[in-house]
Amino acid sequence: MRLELKDIKGGVLEQGYSCSLADFPELLAIAQQDGPQYKEPLEFYLRFQRTGSLVEVDGRVDAVVRLRCGRCLQIFESSISETFALTFTPQSQETEEEDLELEVEQLGLITYQDETLELREPLQEQLLLAIPISPVCDSKCLGLCPHCGVNLNECQCSCVRKPFNNKFSVLADIALKKD
């Protein structure tokens, strides 16, 4: 999960990476806590371009993530295909350049040391960003009945229309009183 600058011959390098979940500790932890789980392998395609000491990376990731639907609570799989751009800049050795370091962070630049790009953190971040915040298995998902909890995609229940029809709800109240 690292690249040495000397491997970018002629200024440009295109490289594919096939990663496992174990390569990304944060994603592994989320999956183990019953959160979204990426399926292996995670396929990255990266194009590195050197411009002086800067290295620009155009990347693409293709993966499948297992998510829990926010409406019906079922697990479903979603394909993820994202493109992203990263810029690496050498870390300054001078302590008095702390202000510059801060600026570097604010610009969204990633620092590198010893002529080596560490890819694990920035790639993990891309995968974290790609996880949908409110996943829904299908835009037509009917969710769970708020009264009896059945999955309305799989079956109908008798209580579905109750809140929308006053006449029936009155009848249902009478029926309850009889008991």
Report the nearest approach of Zn ion to the CB of residue 130 (Å).
20
| Cα–Cα distance, 7 to 156 (Å, whole number) | 61
- Residue 137 makes contact with Zn ion by CB under 5 A: yes
Q: Where are the alpha helices (DSSP H) in the chain?
A: 25-32, 98-106, 120-130, 166-178
Q: Which residue has the tokens 């008991």?
A: 179
Q: Which residues contact 143 (CB under 8 A, 6 or more apart)?
A: 71, 72, 151, 152, 153
Q: How long is the chain? A: 179
- Residue 147 makes contact with Zn ion by CB under 5 A: yes
| Closer residue to Zn ion, CB minimum distance, 28 or 142 | 142
| Cα–Cα distance, 122 to 118 (Å, whole number) | 8
| Closer residue to Zn ion, CB minimum distance, 50 or 68 | 68
Instruction: Tell me the two tokens of residue 33.
Output: 């806590």
| Closer residue to Zn ion, CB minimum distance, 100 or 148 | 148
- Residue 71 makes contact with Zn ion by CB under 5 A: yes
| Closer residue to Zn ion, CB minimum distance, 49 or 151 | 151
Report the nearest approach of Zn ion to the CB of residue 14 (Å).
39
- Residue 157 makes contact with Zn ion by CB under 5 A: yes
Element (H, E) at 134: none
Contact residue for Zn ion among 55, 69, 127, 144 (CB under 5 A): 69
**Binding piece for Zn ion, criterion CB under 5 A, among 9-17, 89-97, 126-134, 135-143:** 135-143
What residue ranges bind Zn ion (CB under 5 A)?
Answer: 69, 71-72, 137, 141, 145, 147-148, 157, 159
